[in-house]
Structure 1
Amino acid sequence: MQTLQQQLGKYGLYHRSKRNVLTHFFGIPLIVFAVLCLLARIEIPLGGVVINGAQIFVLASVIYYFMLSLSLGLIMAILFTALLFAAEPIAAMTFWPWLSIGVGVFVFGWVLQFIGHYYEGKKPAFVDDLIGLIIGPLYVTVELLFLMGFYKQLEIEVNNIAGPTKA
């Protein structure tokens, strides 16, 4: 498994335009929210407890993030849990409203992504490596943390791999 710096740097190679990163600040959380809305309808009975697909997705994702960084894993756990709580009422809706919101938000999030990549002039990272689908949410989180002045050493390490950002 590649290090946190390697994965963020590799993802960053596809995200050097500030306009692209800006569209990702909105597009990626919308996509994650939509996926959680859709997966939350899949119920899995385990003994006397029922879990759903969204909970499994969040757990698996957060475990992966913890393997990369304890502090960022904790931040991602909080963010993904908040999105999960917001998604569960959508999943509880009747079929057509649930499906319309889930698919609509998903498509809108991807439209934002592709607009960003139009400005970037590069294809999305996941086209070359599917791990980009799980690194994307972490990447936009750390980009926001970088803008807030946190994780300066990580920012330097990621930029050493990905290169400087451009307007």
Structure 2
Amino acid sequence: MPSPFRPATDLLIQYARYHRDPRNIHTHFIGIPMIVFAIGVLLARPVLGVATTPLGALAITPAVLLWVLSTAWYLTRGQTALGVAVSVVNGLLIALAAPLAAGSTGAWLGWGLGTFFVGWLFQFVGHYYEGRKPAFVDDLVGLLVGPQFVVAEVLFMVGAFGSLKATIEQAAGPTRLRDLTAPAA
């Protein structure tokens, strides 16, 4: 099994090899944030403690602990600016999800499981277009790389990280529409 502590560039190249069809990438723009949000909802219970921060009280939950650990992982893979960006996006999604855990058990589970299911539905539709299985099937670290890949793709679209994009495309190939009538490669 490959190490989860490979450099961000290597991880993004590996992930990109499973994501070259733009339709697949675009479904990931919806599905991955929904999944991160859903995890934020589901792991916002129980409250393990409260920390005082300059912004006020912060409930310490499994979601917050997972965010701290994933942030440490993103920031230690190289590509620090990208690590900061994905950590901020994940933090915002988890913060938006937290209030939903304060409702009834039914509402908490409905929001959490519902958005998780719909998020994965988007993922699998995208992989239909790609003609390939999701990257995490071959390497579980793909579950962490997914949010990083989505943030990177958005940043590429606005002209940021051009050299990283070029490196990824040189190794994984350019994006292209797969002919759905032809067998998957």
TM-score category of the 2 structures, normalised to the smaller one: over 0.9
Give the direction of change, closer, same or farther, for the CA distance of 1:152–1:40 in structure 2 (3 Å limit).
same
Q: State the distance in 2 between where 1:144 and 1:93 align.
A: 33
Q: How many residue pairs are counted as aligned between the two chains?
A: 167
Q: State the distance in 2 between where 1:50 and 1:76 align.
A: 21
> Normalising by structure 2, what TM-score?
0.86
Say which of 7, 10, 15 aligns to 2:11.
7
User: Which residue number in structure 2 is paired with residue 102 of structure 1?
Assistant: 112
Contact 1:41-1:52 at 8 Å conserved across structures: yes
Sequence identity of aligned pairs in percent? Answer: 41
- Residues 56-115 of structure 1 show CA distances to partners (whole Å, capped at 9, x for unaligned) of 111111111101222112212221221121011111111001101110000000000000
Larger CA Rg, structure 1 vs 2: 2
SS at match of 2:176: coil
Say which of 22, 44, 69 aligns to 2:26.
22
User: Which residue number in structure 2 is paired with residue 62 of structure 1?
Assistant: 71
Q: State the distance in 2 between where 1:47 and 1:70 align.
A: 26
The CA deviation at 1:6 is 0.7
- AA aligned to 1:109 is G
**Which segments of 5 or more consecutive residues in structure 2 lack a partner in the other structure?**
53-57, 178-185
- AA aligned to 2:74 is Y
The CA deviation at 1:2 is 1.6
Contact 2:40-2:95 at 8 Å conserved across structures: no
Contact 1:16-1:165 at 8 Å conserved across structures: yes
Q: State the distance in 2 between where 1:20 and 1:163 align.
A: 15
Superposition RMSD in Å: 1.6
The CA deviation at 1:47 is 9.6
- AA aligned to 1:7 is L
